[in-house]
């Protein structure tokens, strides 16, 4: 009995990211080859995988699941390999036209390679599993990117706008080109995401017309969009989700080749190094209420540094969303009670898109906290996606 209890505790710890997962059998899959295919979205390799809703692996999703590695393009134009997951429902598509594909951008997973969604789905530790199951129940194919550096070598470029949006769009291309997925190669597609994923989905909406014009994108649903990282950072500093501010600093620095060590004290350097080993839940617990002023060399908050240093300020400004008109209808959801990303940030990106002539539906809710806002938005996102794939007119609140 004691051995069984220990096994259960170990499984829960692995799924929660409290410990790194042994992935020796999968290590070679996540190691990119010396050369990549010619086109963004081309599949490098794939293998069958599983999708469990719980860490004890009692609730297996009945679908065709494939782990994939595919080509995308980094922020600076360099071809890179990222991994992800493509899931196809086993039942027939009974809707209008061809089976749609939803490119789903996950929220914050962490920086450790063991936090990658493609690994968490197989271990039953992906906290967005229930929403993904909802997409599958509606008959949609689903493509989920691991983003740059999450699973594959290098540091995850957390909240880097361009590379995140490209990775999402290329995950859809990969799903269309993967024979084992048996998904239409030119059918209707949509993008959805929340929090970090909301930012990636919003970036995909802005990038799609130029970067992936061949995709038959019908709409983008983006929730709790971190459209202004300066304001988001000020809200996070010293709060329950202080780890997210550290994730952003590490991710932005990695994406732009910036050495943060001169700006940090010994405690800050140690924390930022540790962050690369923790997934979301343990990182939130470990670093809750940490004030960034206790991590910097000059004792100033990180947000002051991001605003005062010309190089860092330019990097943060480059991540701003709402400056480019999306070419398709957009649903923006946000809770007025969000404790991570200020409601005013989501409200502003919707207004900015409206001012540029986009079709935007702003859908506020009163879900308690950041997590509650996601749950409260789910029904509306499902209904909105169904309307887009049915070819119904998109209503705007502009």
What pLDDT shows up at residue 5? 32
Percentage above 90 pLDDT, the chain: 90
- Give me the chain's average pLDDT, please: 92
Count of alpha carbons within 13 Å of 36, Cβ hemisphere only?
18
Q: Which residues of 240-250 are buried (b: 16+ CB within 10 A; e: fewer)?
A: bbbbbbbbbbb
The tens digit of pLDDT for each residue in 44-62 reads: 999 999 999 999 999 999 9
Reading the block at residue 137, the tokens are 């129940």
- Take residue 379 and report the two structure tokens written for it: 């029904």
CA dist 152 and 228 (Å) reads 28
More confident position, 127 or 20: 127
d(CA 282, CA 362): 33
Sketch the domain layout of the chain as residue ranges.
27-227+322-389, 229-318
The residue count of the chain comes to 398
Confidence of residue 27 (pLDDT cuts 50, 70, 90): low
CATH topology of domain 27-227+322-389: Rossmann fold (3.40.50)
Q: Which CATH number fits domain 229-318: 3.90.1640.10, 3.20.10.10, 1.10.260.130, 1.20.1250.20?
A: 1.10.260.130
Among 131, 103, 105, 99, smallest CA distance to 117 is for: 105
Tell me the two tokens of residue 190. 């949509």
Question: 3-12, 44-53, 64-73: lowest mean pLDDT where?
Answer: 3-12
Tell me the pLDDT band of 306, cut-offs 50, 70 and 90: confident
Query: Is 255:75 a contact under the CB 8 Å cutoff?
Result: yes
The DSSP code sequence of 189-255 is EEEEEETHHHHHHHHHHHHHHHH-TTSEEEEEEEES----HHHHHHHHTTSTTHHHHHHHHHHHHHH
Q: Phi, psi at residue 109, to the nearest 5°?
A: -110, -30
Share of the chain above pLDDT 70, in %: 93
Give CA–CA dist 59/305, Å, rounded.
46
Per residue in 225-271, pLDDT (tens digit) is 999 999 999 999 999 999 999 999 999 999 999 999 999 999 999 99
């Amino acid at each position: 009995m004691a051995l069984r209890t220990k096994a259960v505790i170990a499984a829960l710890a692995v799924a929660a990211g409290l410990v790194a997962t042994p992935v020796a059998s999968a290590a070679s899959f996540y190691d990119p080859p010396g050369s990549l295919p010619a086109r963004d979205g081309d599949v490098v390799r794939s293998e069958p995988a599983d999708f469990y809703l719980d860490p004890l692996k009692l609730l297996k999703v009945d679908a065709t699941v494939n782990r994939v590695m595919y080509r995308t393009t980094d922020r600076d134009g360099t071809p890179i390999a990222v991994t992800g997951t493509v899931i196809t429902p086993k039942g027939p598509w009974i809707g209008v036209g061809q089976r749609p594909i939803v490119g789903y951008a996950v929220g914050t997973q962490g920086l450790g390679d063991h936090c990658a969604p493609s690994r968490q789905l197989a271990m039953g530790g992906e906290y967005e599993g229930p929403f993904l199951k909802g997409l599958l129940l509606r008959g949609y194919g689903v493509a989920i990117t691991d983003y740059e550096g999450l699973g594959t070598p290098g540091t995850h470029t957390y909240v880097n706008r361009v590379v995140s949006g490209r990775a999402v769009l290329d995950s859809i291309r990969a799903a269309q080109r993967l024979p084992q997925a048996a998904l239409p190669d030119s059918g209707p597609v949509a993008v959805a995401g929340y929090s970090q994923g909301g930012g990636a989905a919003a970036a995909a909406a802005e990038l799609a017309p130029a970067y992936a014009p061949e995709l038959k994108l019908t709409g983008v649903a983006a929730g709790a969009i971190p459209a202004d990282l300066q304001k988001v950072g000020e809200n996070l500093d010293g709060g329950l989700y202080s780890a997210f501010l550290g994730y952003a600093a590490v991710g932005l620095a990695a994406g732009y080749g910036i050495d943060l060590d001169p700006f940090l004290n010994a405690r800050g350097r140690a924390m930022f190094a540790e962050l690369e080993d923790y997934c979301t839940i343990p990182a939130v617990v470990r670093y809750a209420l940490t004030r960034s002023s206790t991590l910097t060399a000059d004792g100033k908050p990180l947000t002051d540094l991001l605003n005062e240093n010309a190089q860092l300020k330019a990097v943060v400004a480059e991540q701003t969303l709402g400056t480019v008109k999306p070419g398709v209808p957009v649903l923006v959801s946000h809770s007025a009670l969000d404790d991570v990303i200020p409601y005013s940030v989501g409200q502003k990106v919707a207004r900015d898109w409206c001012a540029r002539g986009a079709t935007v539906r702003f859908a506020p809710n009163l879900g308690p906290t950041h997590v509650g806002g996601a749950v409260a938005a789910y029904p509306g996102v499902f209904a909105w996606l169904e309307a887009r794939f049915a070819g119904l007119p998109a209503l705007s609140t502009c």
